[in-house]
A and B are shown apart, each in its own frame.
Chain A
Amino acid sequence: MDFMQQLVQQLINGISLGSIYALIALGYTMIYGIIKLINFAHGDIYMVGAYIGYFSITMAHLSIVPSLIISMVVTGLLGMLIERLAYKPLRHAPRISVLITAIGVSFFLEYTSMYFVSPTPRTFPAVFDNIAYHFGPFIINGQQMLIFGITFILMVALTYIVQRTKIGKAMRAVSFDTETAQLMGIDANRIISITFGIGSALAAAGGVLVGVYYNSIDPLMGIMPGLKAFVAAVLGGIGILPGAMVGGLILGVIEALVSGFVSSTFRDAAAFAILILVLLFKPSGIFGKNTREKV
């Protein structure tokens, strides 16, 4: 029973962490899907989101939900601006140029943030009193409930947008075949911009939630989760939305289990071992399939 209790507790922790990975991974995968760019600045976007949430709570004295919304909107606009200034001029450039630019944008965000907010970690204010929900022997705290709730709402909203709305159909069309999408009268540049906006807003939500969960934010906080979310996106099948959701959750759960039952020192090693295994045995990821073509 003791083992079972610990297992379930680690699963709860893993799903919390995994939800945050999933939120970041969604942006990675959407942006990859639409312009085939691994946006290495995505983890830093998540960091910016965390800071905007932090300042909304501490300086504007807003509560968590309005802060989350403000952070998502502002960070979304920042993502669109970055795309417009840094990536759009390179639309027809070799992919390696865009990739290097993304790394440049990543450093730019990290060190510009350091200049403005100082490199010292900040304590994210407690948005809840320490509430803990007891389900039999298991404990879910308020932060975890918030993470589950927000992540669930955002995933449902995203799925609805992508599957049911006109913009979503246009996003899928541009991602499948940009040129033919243009022949349908779709403004591909606008759709790419919107995709960056949505992806960045989701990362911002992840940033605010991680601030709430771990209570500490700093300008380099995006590096590791950014890489992990990339692993999650590859694990699920890069470019595939349900893949990013499932990949994030699996990664979070594996990390929690490794921390809980082996040693937290091996946590990161486990994540990257997964990346290597996926690349070796199923490079297209869990949801990836080989595309067929008919003549």
Chain B
Amino acid sequence: MGTMLKIDNINVYYGAIHAIKGISLEVGEGEIVTLIGANGAGKSTTLRTISGLLKPKSGTITFEGKEIAGLAAQDIVKAGISQVPEGRRIFANMTVMENLDLGAFIRKDKEGVQKDLKNVFERFPRLEERKNQEAGTLSGGEQQMLAMGRALMSRPRLLLLDEPSMGLAPLLIREIFSIIADINKTGTTVLLVEQNANMALSIASRAYVLETGRITLSGDAEKLAASEDVRKAYLGG
């Protein structure tokens, strides 16, 4: 199993604020890796940097052997990385179908897009029922599904998910996580950022713990879930 994404000692600043202080991490092909930590630890910043919305001041990000740090966001999508951003960020004034079309913006293979659309509708039947509806009228859970379906439409090899459980009822969170596990089984590598550490550790193979811009712990997800430190800090005892 080869390394798909390798982040080596990146530093990221928001103006004068040093948000990411020398993070290194790896995601292997076919894995689900999770990045857990408290609010403001730098989890979203890390994902935003991978996607090219922020540029690291130093350090390297390698995807499938190519350096991608500093590339424009659209070129990173073309390289095969897609993100489901925090808060879903669907295009609320457009229809569900238009949102999915935008997900496939970079693609030229019409037949492949049709096939992926069919897959997305199979995975999220509610999106098909509501395909001509304005996306802003969907419920929170449906919006999360749309954001995920939209990200899958670019046929990414690496899917970045930022807080997919945010604001959802526990039953829905379970459903979303089992879908993430299933997306991974069908061949998409996943890097998952979560505050809900319990759920994240339950589907991930490996995990990194982020605290104020630094990685403080990392390792096997099961072992981290069992570790005393992690239990106290993130799993509510």
| A-to-B contact residues, CB < 8 Å | 166, 169-170, 172-173, 176-177, 179-187, 291-295
CB of A183 within 8 A of CB of B85, answer: yes
CB of B140 within 8 A of CB of A182, answer: no
CB of A186 within 8 A of CB of B105, answer: yes
CB of A176 within 8 A of CB of B93, answer: yes
CB of B91 within 8 A of CB of A173, answer: yes
Chain A-chain B contacts (Cβ-Cβ < 8 Å), number? 71
Question: Number of contact residues on B: which range applies?
Answer: 20 to 34
B165 interface residue per 8 A CB criterion: no
CB of A182 within 8 A of CB of B53, answer: yes
B219 interface residue per 8 A CB criterion: no
B89 to chain A, nearest CB (A): 4
CB of B74 within 8 A of CB of A187, answer: yes
> What is the chain A residue whose CB lies nearest that of B139?
A294
B185 to chain A, nearest CB (A): 24
Chain B residues near A181 (CB-CB < 8 A): 102
Of B2-10, B34-42, B75-83, B228-236, the segment with at least 4 beta carbons within 8 Å of chain A is B75-83
| B-to-A contact residues, CB < 8 Å | 51-53, 72-74, 77-78, 82-83, 85, 89, 91-94, 98, 101-103, 105-106, 136, 138-140, 143, 150, 154, 167
In the complex, A182 Cα to B53 Cα: how many Å? Answer: 8
- Name the residue among B51, B73, B143 with the largest chain A CB count within 10 angstroms: B73
In the complex, A187 Cα to B136 Cα: how many Å? Answer: 24
A146 to chain B, nearest CB (A): 35
- Offer 17 A-B interface pairs, CB within 8 angstroms, sorted by A: A166-B101, A169-B105, A172-B93, A177-B89, A179-B85, A180-B85, A182-B52, A182-B73, A183-B51, A183-B53, A183-B73, A184-B154, A185-B73, A186-B105, A293-B92, A294-B136, A294-B140
A274 to chain B, nearest CB (A): 26
- Name the residue among A169, A182, A185, A187 with the largest chain B CB count within 10 angstroms: A185
From B51, B52, B74, B93, contact of A186 by CB (8 A): B74
Chain B residues near A186 (CB-CB < 8 A): 74, 102, 105
In the complex, A67 Cα to B230 Cα: how many Å? Answer: 72
Chain A residues near B105 (CB-CB < 8 A): 166, 169-170, 184-186
CB of A169 within 8 A of CB of B101, answer: yes
> What is the chain A residue whose CB lies nearest that of B160?
A183
Answer whether A292 and B83 are a contact pair too, CB < 8 Å, given A172-B94, A176-B91, A177-B89.
no
CB of B136 within 8 A of CB of A169, answer: no
A178 to chain B, nearest CB (A): 10
In the complex, A185 Cα to B94 Cα: how many Å? Answer: 17
CB of B167 within 8 A of CB of A295, answer: yes
Q: A182-B53, A183-B53 are in contact. List 12 more A-B contacts (CB 8 A).
A: A176-B94, A177-B91, A180-B91, A182-B52, A182-B74, A183-B82, A184-B77, A184-B103, A184-B106, A186-B105, A294-B139, A295-B167
From B91, B92, B106, contact of A185 by CB (8 A): B106
CB of A185 within 8 A of CB of B136, answer: no
Chain A residues near B74 (CB-CB < 8 A): 182, 185-187
